[in-house]
Amino acid sequence: MADEGDADQRLRCYEYGATVQAELHFAERTIESIETRASAPDEVLVLPDAEVRVDKSSIMEIHEETLNSHLERAVDALENGAFCGLPSHTIEAVGDAYAEIKRQVREGNYTLARMNVNKLRARLRHPAVEFG
């Protein structure tokens, strides 16, 4: 039976793993949104308390900022969860991919960026991750 400290660590490891995947999933969906916006005209954004006209470049900027937040959170969760024993090369791979994905989005290579996020998701759910 795990003591209280062990139980807490296990729960934290579950939550870090879940956070990484959730953030990568959001990152993937955000790239899809950027891709859609890239070919759309200027539009009106409606928020619960205000209606404002925001031009396309501002929307793209906001989405890119959102994408970066998701990727940063995924990297943070991986780094904070280092005590869970994940191989260091997996943590490094996500950090490397983060810079690569940001660059691909900036250059308009959305399909490639989405594929790279998807590869990270697959890497984290594949049992091979356990064996390096």
- Within residues 17-76, the interface with another protein by CB under 8 A covers 17-23, 25-26, 30, 45, 47-50, 52, 54, 58, 62-63, 65-66, 69-70, 73
Q: How far is the CB of 126 from another protein (least distance, A)?
A: 9
Q: Nearest 10 degrees: CA dihedral of 112, 17, 95, 38?
A: 30
Phi, psi dihedral angles at 45 (to 5 degrees): -90, 130
Residues 117, 93 contacting (CB under 8 angstroms): no
**DSSP letter assigned to residue 51:** E
Q: Is 16 in the site for another protein (CB under 8 A)?
A: yes
Tell me whether residue 94 is exposed, middle or buried, using C-beta atoms within 10 angstroms of its C-beta: 0 to 12, 13 to 18, 19 or more.
buried
CA distance 110 to 102: 10
Q: How far is the CB of 20 from another protein (least distance, A)?
A: 6
Q: Is 81 in the site for another protein (CB under 8 A)?
A: yes
Q: Which is nearer to another protein, 18 or 99 (CB)?
A: 18
Q: How far is the CB of 117 from another protein (least distance, A)?
A: 12
Q: Which is nearer to another protein, 39 or 47 (CB)?
A: 47
# residues near another protein by CB under 8 A: 46
Phi, psi dihedral angles at 10 (to 5 degrees): -60, -45
CA distance 58 to 43: 11
Applying CB under 8 A, the residues found at the interface with another protein are: 2, 6-7, 9-11, 13-23, 25-26, 30, 45, 47-50, 52, 54, 58, 62-63, 65-66, 69-70, 73, 81, 83-86, 121, 124-125, 127, 129-130
